[in-house]
Amino acid sequence: MASFSDFLSAETMRRLDHLVLASRWTAEGGRAGRHASVLKGASVEFRDHRDYVQGDNLRHLDWKLFGRSERYFIKQYQEETSLRVHLVLDASASMAFQHSGATTKFAFTRELAAAAAYLAHHQQDCVGLVIYDDEVRRWLPTKGGSRHVRNVLDALASHQPGGRTDTGKALEALAGGMARRGLVLMMSDLLDAPEAVFRALAHFRRRGHDVVLVQVLDPAELDFPFAGVSDFIDMETGERLEADAALVRRAYREAIGAAIAGFRARCGALRVDFRLATTDRAPAAVLTELLAERRRLGA
């Protein structure tokens, strides 16, 4: 069976031990932990009031406040719970690309996911895994415990990228299975129809998830360092395009820059954290920077 050492060095794990994986908002887990919970109940610490709505449990009505205001309010409480970490990986054929980076995009993504799973397990939080291309290929619901984490690592180690990308179709299948809110760490090269991606992100946000989207690209996909007349082959469709690299380089760079800026802006509007990561970097270093910035912003 796979272990964390198959993905992470001992030094990397020691560095990760000092980090904290947390949600920007409150968590909704299934057991005691270190994160503030959105779950409410009479046996935990009082937090606030909200207006009564039909169907609320009458046991939580604040009758004293009703006596003063003649309005119905529900008591809300806060407890500590575990964080549910959902790792969502794009495993379409384009993720097998490698040119200037140290590894393929999928191998980079796999190591980044393993680092996040290590942190979640270290914190005694729950972790789940989704691997998709044009449909969901592997799906392990969020759970805690060493046995479940080994299953997650086995799935990461054994899966190989292939097929076309259809983020919208694949993630629609997750609608009912990720009902309990948590932290969604989604990793993809985003070589997909943008609107389908945004619909999926909006779906997660409507359900109260804290979403981080990491766009993983090979440096060559940003710089376009090719020379001469070359065949450019779509890894998912096999379509070929012959072009003089020098003639299309400027237009390509402008197009990829505009696409990244578009993702950044739309994610900002959805309150989704967007990060660009290139495969010439260490995945654990990318995660460290991401968590440090989120901590400065309050997560």
pLDDT at 297: 76
Q: What is the model's pLDDT at position 32?
A: 43
Query: What was the pLDDT predicted at 295?
Result: 84
So what's the pLDDT on residue 41?
45
Q: What is the per-residue DSSP string for the chain?
A: ---GGGTS-HHHHHHHTT-----SS-B--SS--SEEBS---TTSEEEEEEE--TT--GGGB-HHHHHHHSS-EEEEEE-EE--EEEEEEE-SGGGG--SSSSS-HHHHHHHHHHHHHHHHHHTT-EEEEEEESSSEEEEEEEE-SHHHHHHHHHHHHH----S---HHHHHHTTTTTT-S--EEEEEE---S-HHHHHHHHHHHHHTT-EEEEEEEE-HHHHH----SEEEEE-TTT--EEEEEHHHHHHHHHHHHHHHHHHHHHHHHHHT-EEEEEETTS-HHHHHHHHHHHHHHTT-
Domain 4-27+82-296 sits in which CATH superfamily? Answer: von Willebrand factor, type A domain (3.40.50.410)
From first to last of its 299 residues, what are the pLDDT tens digits of the chain? 899 999 999 999 999 998 989 887 654 544 444 555 444 444 455 556 667 666 667 777 888 877 888 788 777 554 445 789 999 999 999 999 999 999 999 999 999 999 999 999 999 999 999 999 999 999 999 999 999 999 999 999 999 999 999 888 887 777 667 777 899 999 999 988 899 899 889 988 888 899 999 999 999 999 999 988 888 888 888 889 888 989 999 999 999 999 999 999 999 999 999 999 999 999 999 999 999 988 887 65
- The pTM of this model reads 0.81
Domain assignments of the chain as residue spans, ordered by start: 4-27+82-296, 40-78
